[in-house]
């Protein structure tokens, strides 16, 4: 019976307009990359010790990563990801070379000794080559080999989606974060490298290079690890935040220092706003940094990459079309919001990338509210971004194959959260949920389902049908209504089975009234002024249709 009900539900979903578009055909490589297969499941990374020599003269890199791991269950074969055209030179454990085979982007090493549960070991992978060059960073990622405006070499990495294994060997899956990591980058003198965490040492080498040893003491997602090497200016300020003094370091290109000293003051008000709404900045030990990069921007943990040209808006334009988006710098706000949603709370599977992007999009609206002191201004912003929603395919992607959902994870996801705020209808509680997410899942990798369950539990509302609707179908709920005299009839259409989301409407008398529609017709007596005056509160991402 249960199985039958499920089959019917799936059938309904399939036949609803626009829902469940056929996913692409996935390959063996997608599965190796996107799932926790047998050669990944038995070990847990505790530390990455990454050393990379970066050579702009021939666009090559060479280095090693010492992968320290704890044995969870007995295992002998280990999957380590490194993408072509990079080549492994050797893999070594306890002084002995390991045998390994290559399967596309993955290497499978055979460990000589039995790996006993609870033990900690290290495999060091030596490698070299010319890493893939980014075509359209940060979206089409890889290495970026550029010059700044003064002709100085400028090198950076951006590899979200593509994967950290585009330039260094690791367990390339969202569920895996080391407890700490060294990032030791060697570049030609006098280039300066700015990576994640704190700078522990700078060593001038005999061969005309300098080594910058950065260290991250808190769990970090692998796609956040980055190189930014160029001719930088630097200053630091101390922010007195919720968890005490926080270092905020600024690394613009030297040629842009004056612009940065003006524009980047926004980082302070960003920090103030997001600590208020989301809780303490999650990485006090590693500090906060803004680093200028030769691409638009990326949420690299404790080294947020900035390339928005020192202008407000998104490359000087307002994504909301309302004017609200021109009041602040999109990249400072959006990418820094990811320190809470993406870096503190990290999605285990690419299919749940909405956990990163929906909250970061929603954070833009909260920042608008902080900056203007106007709840209406924040609402205007997020509602304005609705015109960018495509409803081409679901926001949630496909699990186990490194496949994220629709780009709607930004604007639709933000509007879903704004809608849920209306349902909670209590800003203190809403703020408590956002802060509670960051406290409960601090420094963890999560599933989207965990986030959904937490929000239902803490709000006291069953949000399951709301998440099903907005994350897993492309349908926008339609409130169908008939207003005849003083009788209002209404119901939800284009919704998932069981969708019973309350909604606020104006029945024409200027006051907002809560309705609790289901997909069955209900009627209510009103004092309103007829169908012309009827409207749905636009804070809800729904449509209304007069079917009278």
Minimum Å distance from CB 414 to Zn ion? 11
CB nearer Zn ion, residue 193 or residue 349 = 349
Closest CA to 168 of 303, 53, 256: 53
Q: What's the closest the beta carbon of residue 411 comes to Zn ion, in angstroms?
A: 12
Residue 334 CB, shortest distance to Zn ion, in Å, is 6
Between CA 382 and CA 311 the distance in angstroms is 20
Query: At closest approach, how far in Å is the CB of 297 from Zn ion?
Result: 8
* Lookup: tokens for 56: 């702009």
Q: Which of residues 91-150 bind Zn ion (CB under 5 A)?
A: none
Spell out, one character per residue from 301 to 340, where the chain touches Zn ion: x when CB under 5 A holds, - when not: ----------------------------------------
166 or 355, CB closer to Zn ion? 355
Among 324, 327, 343, 325, CA closest to 335: 343
Is 349 or 357 the residue whose CB approaches Zn ion more closely?
A: 357
Q: What is the C-alpha separation between 131 and 246, in angstroms, rounded?
A: 35
How is residue 360 written in tokens? Answer: 């970061």
What is the C-alpha separation between 422 and 100, in angstroms, rounded? 55
* Alpha carbons 48 and 224: distance in angstroms, whole number: 13
Secondary structure (3-state) at 49: strand
Among residues 109 and 360, whose Cβ is nearest to Zn ion? 360
Residue with the closest Cβ to Zn ion?
Answer: 360
Contact region for Zn ion (CB under 5 A) — 140-148, 244-252, 277-285, 355-363? 355-363
Residue 19 vs 353, nearer CB to Zn ion: 353
**Least distance from C-beta 195 to Zn ion, angstroms?**
20
Nearer to Zn ion, 304 or 360 (CB): 360
Taking contact as CB under 5 A, which single stretch among the options 2-10, 154-162, 323-331, 349-357 is the one that binds Zn ion? 349-357
CB of 410 to Zn ion, least distance (A): 7
Q: Which is nearer to Zn ion, 414 or 528 (CB)?
A: 414
User: What tokens does 309 get?
Assistant: 């040209």
First to last CA, the chain: 38
- Least distance between Zn ion and beta carbon 336 (Å): 10
Enter the tokens of residue 125: 């992978």
Question: Diameter of the chain by CA atoms?
Answer: 89
Stretch that binds Zn ion, among 66-74, 357-365, 421-429, 512-520 (CB under 5 A): 357-365
Query: Helix 330-337 vs helix 354-372: angle between axes, to the nearest 10 degrees?
Result: 130
Q: How far is the CB of 175 from Zn ion (least distance, A)?
A: 20
Closest residue by Cα to residue 53 from 180, 154, 183: 183
Q: How far is the CB of 298 from Zn ion (least distance, A)?
A: 8
Q: Could you tell me the smallest distance in angstroms from the CB atom of residue 204 to Zn ion?
A: 37
Q: What x/- string results for residues 27 through 46 when contact with Zn ion is judged by CB under 5 A?
A: --------------------
Cα dihedral 438, 440, 446, 452 in deg (nearest 10): -90
State the minimum distance, in angstroms, from the CB of residue 409 to Zn ion.
9
Strand-pairing partners, residue 202, are 212
Smallest separation, CB 360 to Zn ion (Å) = 4
How many Å apart are CA 385 and CA 322, to the nearest integer? 9
Who contacts 336 (Cβ-Cβ below 8 Å, separation ≥6)? 267, 270, 271, 274, 288, 290, 299, 304
- Coil/strand/helix, residue 155: strand
Q: Spell out where 18-118 has E strands.
A: 43-55, 60-71, 77-81, 87-93, 96-97, 99-103, 106-110
Closest CA to 163 of 394, 360, 403, 328: 403
| DSSP-based helix, strand, coil % in the chain, nearest 5 | 30, 30, 40
Segment near Zn ion (CB under 5 A); pick from 161-169, 216-224, 260-268, 353-361: 353-361
Q: Which is nearer to Zn ion, 167 or 354 (CB)?
A: 354
* Beta carbon of residue 451, minimum distance to Zn ion (angstroms, whole number): 16
Work out how close the CB of 357 gets to Zn ion at its nearest, in angstroms, rounded to a whole number. 5
**How many residues touch Zn ion (CB under 5 A)?**
2
- Which window, 167-175, 213-221, 351-359, 428-436, contacts Zn ion (CB under 5 A)? 351-359
Pick between residue 98 and residue 298 the one whose CB is nearest to Zn ion.
Answer: 298
Nearer to Zn ion, 82 or 360 (CB): 360
Is 47:186 a contact under the CB 8 Å cutoff? Answer: no
Closer to Zn ion by Cβ: residue 239 or 330: 330
Tell me whether residue 340 or residue 441 sits nearer to Zn ion (CB atom).
340
Distance CA 26, CA 402 (A): 10
- Which residues are 341's β-sheet partners? 345
Nearest-angstrom CA–CA distance, 225 and 161: 13
Contact 34, 349 (CB under 8 A): yes
**Closest CB to Zn ion among 266 and 343?**
343
- 503 counts as binding Zn ion under rule CB under 5 A: no
Number of H helices, E strands in the chain: 12, 29
In DSSP terms, 445 is beta-bridged to 346
Could you tell me which residues are beta bridge partners of residue 505? 513, 536
Pick the piece of the chain touching Zn ion (CB under 5 A) from 115-123, 352-360, 389-397, 452-460.
352-360
Q: Of the two residues 111 and 360, which places its CB atom closer to Zn ion in the complex?
A: 360
- The single residue among 293, 303, 360, 377 that binds Zn ion, judged by CB under 5 A, is 360
Residues within the interface to Zn ion (CB under 5 A): 357, 360
């Amino acid at each position: 019976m249960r199985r039958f009900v499920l089959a019917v539900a799936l059938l309904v979903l399939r036949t609803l307009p626009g829902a469940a578009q056929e996913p692409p055909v996935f390959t063996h490589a997608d599965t190796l990359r996107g799932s926790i297969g047998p050669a990944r499941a038995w070990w847990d990374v505790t530390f990455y010790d990454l050393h990379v020599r970066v050579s702009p003269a021939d666009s090559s890199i060479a280095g090693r990563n010492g992968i320290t791991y704890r044995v969870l269950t007995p295992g002998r074969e280990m999957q380590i990801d490194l993408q072509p055209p990079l080549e492994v030179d050797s893999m070594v454990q306890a002084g002995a070379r390991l045998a390994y085979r290559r399967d596309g982007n993955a290497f499978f090493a055979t460990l000589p000794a039995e790996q006993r549960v609870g033990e900690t070991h290290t495999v060091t992978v030596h490698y070299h080559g010319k890493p893939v060059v980014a075509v359209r960073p940060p979206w089409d990622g890889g290495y970026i080999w550029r010059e700044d405006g003064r002709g100085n070499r400028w090198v950076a990495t951006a590899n979200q989606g593509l994967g950290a294994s585009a330039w260094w060997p690791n367990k390339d899956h969202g569920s895996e974060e080391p407890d700490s990591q060294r990032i030791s980058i060697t570049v030609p003198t006098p280039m300066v490298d700015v990576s994640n965490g704190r700078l522990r040492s700078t060593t001038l080498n005999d061969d005309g290079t300098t080594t910058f040893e950065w260290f991250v003491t808190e769990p970090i997602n692998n796609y956040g690890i980055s190189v930014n090497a160029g001719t930088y200016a630097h200053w630091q300020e101390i922010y007195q935040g919720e968890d005490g003094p926080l270092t905020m370091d600024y690394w613009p290109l030297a040629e842009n220092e004056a612009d940065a000293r003006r524009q980047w003051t926004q980082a302070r008000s960003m920090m103030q706003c997001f600590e208020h709404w989301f809780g303490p900045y999650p990485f006090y030990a590693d500090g906060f940094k803004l680093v200028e990069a030769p691409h638009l921007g990326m949420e690299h943990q404790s080294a947020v990459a900035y390339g928005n040209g020192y202008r407000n808006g998104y490359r000087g334009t307002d994504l909301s079309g309302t004017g609200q988006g021109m009041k602040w710098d999109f990249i400072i706000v959006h990418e820094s919001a990811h320190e809470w949603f993406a870096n503190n709370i990290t999605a285990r599977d690419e299919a749940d990338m909405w956990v990163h992007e929906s909250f970061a999009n929603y954070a833009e609206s909260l920042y608008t509210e902080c900056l203007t002191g106007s709840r209406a201004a924040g609402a205007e912003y997020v509602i304005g971004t609705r015109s960018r929603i495509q409803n081409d395919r679901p926001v949630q992607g496909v699990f186990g194959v490194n496949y994220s959902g629709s780009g709607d994870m930004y604007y639709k996801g933000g509007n879903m959260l704004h809608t849920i705020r209306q349902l909670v209808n209590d800003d203190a509680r809403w703020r408590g949920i956002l802060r509670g997410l960051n406290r409960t899942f601090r420094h963890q990798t999560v599933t989207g389902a965990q986030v959904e369950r937490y929000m239902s539990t803490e709000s006291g509302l069953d949000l399951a049908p709301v998440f099903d609707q907005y994350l897993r179908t492309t349908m926008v709920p339609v409130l169908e209504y008939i207003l005849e005299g003083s009788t209002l009839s209404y119901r939800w259409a284009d919704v998932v089975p069981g969708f019973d989301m309350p909604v606020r409407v104006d029945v024409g008398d200027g006051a907002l009234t809560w309705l609790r529609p289901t997909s069955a017709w209900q009627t209510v007596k009103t004092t309103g002024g007829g169908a012309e005056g009827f409207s749905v509160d636009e804070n809800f991402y729904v449509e209304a249709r007069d079917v009278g």
